[in-house]
Amino acid sequence: MTTSVALAARAHSGLPVRAFYWLLVVPALAAMLAFYFFPLARVLWISVTEPRPGLDNYALLLTSASVHRMLLVTARLCVITTIVTLLLGYVVAYAMAHARGRQLRWLTFFVLLPLWVSVLVRAFAWVTLLRGNGLVNQSLLALGIIGEPLALVRNELGVAVGMIHYMIPFAVLPLYANMQGIDLRLVAAARGLGASPRQAFLRVFLPLSLPGLVGAGVLVFIFSLGFYVTPAILGGGRVFMIAEYIGVQILTVLRWGLGAMLATTLLAGVLLLMAALGRLVNMKKLFGAG
Amino acid sequence: MLTERAHTLHVRSLSKHYGRVRAVDDVSFTVRRGDFLTLLGPSGSGKTTILMSIAGFIEPTAGDILVDERVITHLPPERRNFGMVFQGYALFPHLTVADNVGFPLQVRRVPRAEATARVRQALDLVHLTDLADRVPKQLSGGQQQRVALARALVFQPDLLLLDEPLSALDKKLRAELGWELKSLHRRVGMTFIYVTHDQEEALSMSDEVAILRDGKLVQSGAPSALYDQPRTRFVADFLGTSNFLDGVVDGPHHAGVTYRCGPHRFLQAGPRDALRPGQPIVLSLRPEKIVLTADEPPGAINVLAAELVSWSYFGSGVHVLVAAPGIGQLAVTRQSWRLDVPLSAGKRVWLSWDADAATPVAEDS
């Protein structure tokens, strides 16, 4: 069908078939150029022209104490989120890789469920649970485990909880895809050759799941860098991560140059991480296209 | 390098039920020290379930497994000290050949220097010393199979279990590695338990074969005993090929018993007891035990005239299909070299066989 259309096109216009296929891509490509790459280039441009031409904005990366503080908070939260998410996600993916039929369907359903709930709703739900007179604190007080309400939200702990909750499916899915490729008979073989269950896991299953772990780790870390709503709500205006910081620079204090510089830096950082990931693992396989 | 530490294995009334399905149903057998026992059966006969119970991967519903006099039925697999070659080999893809072979030593915390020496010996044993630094993906099927063997032998296990180790290989390689496996068994002097659905493998390698069907042990014994004296129609049919003569016992004879098949009367050697006149009888007659001649053989005991229907030539020999009035079609296998019967369809030929060539078999329940 496609071929005949292409051949017909060739017969009518005299264009080679390849050029005809390129023509099909042109509208999408034009839209991308006009509405994505052009604005992106403008951001890059602003970062070296506002408030005056030069690399002043980039110098702030080295000199500004508030930028340093924000970058440190961002890095710390992203690292903690990545580590905890990987640990929790690994357990879920491991259970999924060993589950069958109905069990597997329910596990998959509960992993995907949070993805269908708005991030805003989830953040406010966590505030309700974690605040001073929220469910968690009230339960702990009632049980007499604590005497004073714990500060669980409007700090980095609250932000981390929200981020980890959001990121778990993004860790589980690549981990599960990788674990599906592991022949579980290898673990049985290890047991048969004298390995304890612990040794069989550490020496056979864990090393074979390493590509999934690396892939999921980089993925979660990159996604974590861009969190905006969750830190804004669960941080209660006290925890500034890079995305919210950029938002404030551009919308509130109107330091467009600084905001654009940080956005550019973030983009460059993400691209570098992706490049590193591409060298470590097969990306197509990681995202299930291979 | 591997000592003569051979053990006896007893399987006593072993059963494994999955709901109402009896995968293994009251199976008992003993493997003598240093023997090569093959569990042979079609798929679903329970042979792999028995092997997995011996290995410790399957908890039996009832029964016991003993090594010498020690009950091991409920020990976890890693505490049984059995070597195992898995179907498809199950080599660790992330480890080199040397590390795969060294794995059982590593988890047993054998000191590094000793482990290195033993890995080397094990690789020598299977002629793979040169490939120690490769990973499994870079090896051929036959080489992978040898690595799996070396890995299963390196820690001097009490028993070696093999789950269809040759099934993934092509025919020629299978025969070659079969020879190697048998010579390896002689050299290491260990007790081997082998699972296969391939009757040729079972007959060629084993000291003893146990035939399974629907979870039950049908018959066990030396390969030649099983082939020459099958007890049931299933065993006769499953091991090699067999003609079946359905007849009625006629009466005792000084050399055995006579029976009738349609219009014919034949003599069967052997015990006369338990066969009463008028009783139905089924005999298994192997195609190669029938003599084929162009003229009526003088002085033969069991003689039958038949018509040649078709034939199939396979180099060393020829399979001939004949039709005998009142009996039906029979298969005959003869050497092709100096066969004195001209092969042409519709030709009249004579079949004859000795009184002890056939074996009475029981109908399967």
Residue found by looking up tokens 């390689």 in the block: B173
**H-type alpha helices, chain A:** 2-13, 17-32, 38-49, 56-63, 65-98, 101-112, 119-130, 135-142, 156-180, 185-192, 197-200, 206-225, 229-234, 242-247, 256-280, 283-286
As a whole number, mean pLDDT of residues B139-150 equals 93
Is A282 an interface residue toward B (CB < 8 Å)? no
Residue with tokens 């007499």: A144
Q: Which of B86, B107, B151 sits opposite A195 (nearest CB)?
A: B107
Q: Kindly list the residues from chain A whose CB atom is less than 8 angstroms away from the CB atom of residue B76.
A: 191
Collapsed DSSP state (helix, strand, coil) of residue B59? coil
> How many other CB atoms are found less than 10 A from the CB of residue B162?
25
State the Cα–Cα distance between residues A141 and A143, nearest whole angstrom: 5
Looking at the complex, report in whole angstroms how far the Cα of residue B94 sits from the nearest Cα belonging to chain A.
7
| pLDDT at residue B38, as a whole number | 97
Q: What is the pLDDT of residues B269-280, one digit of tens each?
A: 987 566 788 899
CA of B272 vs chain A CAs: smallest distance (Å): 51
| pLDDT of A14 | 58
Residue scoring higher pLDDT (A14 or B214): B214
Please check whether residue B333 is in contact with residue B320, taking contact to mean a CB–CB distance below 8 angstroms.
yes
Using an 8 Å CB-CB cutoff, list chain A residues near B90.
183, 185-186, 188-189
Which residues pair with residue B85 across a beta bridge? Answer: B162
pLDDT of residue B1: 38
Q: CB-based contacts of A251: which residues, under 8 Å, 6+ apart?
A: none
Which pair of tokens denotes residue B78? 């890693």
CB contact under 8 A, A194 and B93: no
pLDDT at residue B98, rounded to an integer: 96
Report, as an integer, the average pLDDT of B216-221: 95
Residues lower than pLDDT 70 in chain A:
1-15, 283-290
Which DSSP state fits B78? G
Q: What is the pLDDT of residue A280?
A: 76
Pick from B282, B280, B355, B352: nearest CA to B322? B352
DSSP string over B210-273:
EEEETTEEEEEE-HHHHHHS-SBHHHHHHSS--EEEEEEEEEEETTEEEEEETTEEEEEES--T
pLDDT for B4 equals: 57
DSSP B153-174: HTT--SEEEEESTTTTS-HHHH
For B334, phi and psi rounded to 5 degrees? -130, 160
Strands B264-269 and B216-221: unpaired
- What is the pLDDT, as a whole number, of residue B2? 42
Q: CA–CA separation, B238 vs B40, rounded Å?
A: 10
| Distance in angstroms (rounded) separating the CA atoms of residues B146 and A97 | 30
Instruction: Find the distance separating the first CA and the last CA of chain A, reported in whole Å.
Output: 26
Reported ipTM: the value is 0.79
pLDDT value at position B273? 63
B365 band by pLDDT with thresholds 50, 70 and 90: low
The CA distance from B46 to B246, in Å, is 30
Note the pTM of the prediction, 2 decimals.
0.80
Q: At what angle do helices B141-153 and B112-125 cross, to 10 degrees?
A: 130
- Give all strands (DSSP E) within B58-175, no chain letters: 62-67, 70-71, 82-85, 159-163
Residues of chain B in contact with residue A195, where contact means CB-CB under 8 angstroms, are: 78, 103, 107
Structure-block tokens of residue B305:
């005239």
Which residue in B94, B96, B160, B164 has the most chain A C-beta atoms within 10 A of its own C-beta, making it the best mutation to test that interface? B94
A 95-114 near B (Cβ less than 8 A): none
Task: Write down the pLDDT at residue B356.
Answer: 92
* Residue B102 contacts residue B110 (beta carbons within 8 Å): no
Do the beta carbons of residue A81 and residue A161 sit within 8 Å?
Answer: no
DSSP string, B276-337: -TT-EEEEEE-GGGSEEESSPPTT-SEEEEEEEEEEEE-SSEEEEEEEETTTEEEEEEEEST
Distance to chain B for A171, nearest Cα, Å: 23
Residue type (1 letter), B61 = T
- pLDDT single digits (tens) B32-76: 999 999 999 999 999 999 999 999 999 999 999 999 989 999 999
Q: Does the structure show a pLDDT above 60 at B3? A: no
Model confidence over B67-76: pLDDT tens digits? Answer: 998 999 999 9
Optimal mutation site among B79, B84, B87, B92, interface A, most CBs of chain A within 10 A: B92
- Contact residues on chain A for B102, CB-CB shorter than 8 A: none
Cα three-residue angle B230-B236-B238, rounded to 5 degrees? 130
- Give the pLDDT confidence score for residue A1 in this predicted structure: 44
What pLDDT score was predicted for residue A288? 56
Q: Within 13 A of A90's CA, how many CA atoms are on the CB side?
A: 18
Q: Which of A187, A193, A205 to mutate to test the interface with B (most CBs of B within 10 A)?
A: A193
Q: Answer whether residue B129 shows pLDDT above 80.
A: yes
Task: Check residue A284 and give its pLDDT.
Answer: 66
Q: How many residues does chain B have?
A: 365
Maximum distance among all alpha carbons in chain B? 77
- Distance of alpha carbon B316 from the chain centroid: 23
B14-23, B107-116, B265-274, B355-364: which has the minimum mean pLDDT? Answer: B265-274
Helix, strand or coil, per DSSP, at residue A122 = helix
Q: What angle do the packed helices A156-180 and A65-98 form, to 10 degrees?
A: 40
Enclosing H/E stretch for B29: strand B21-31
Distance CA A40, CA B226 (A): 81
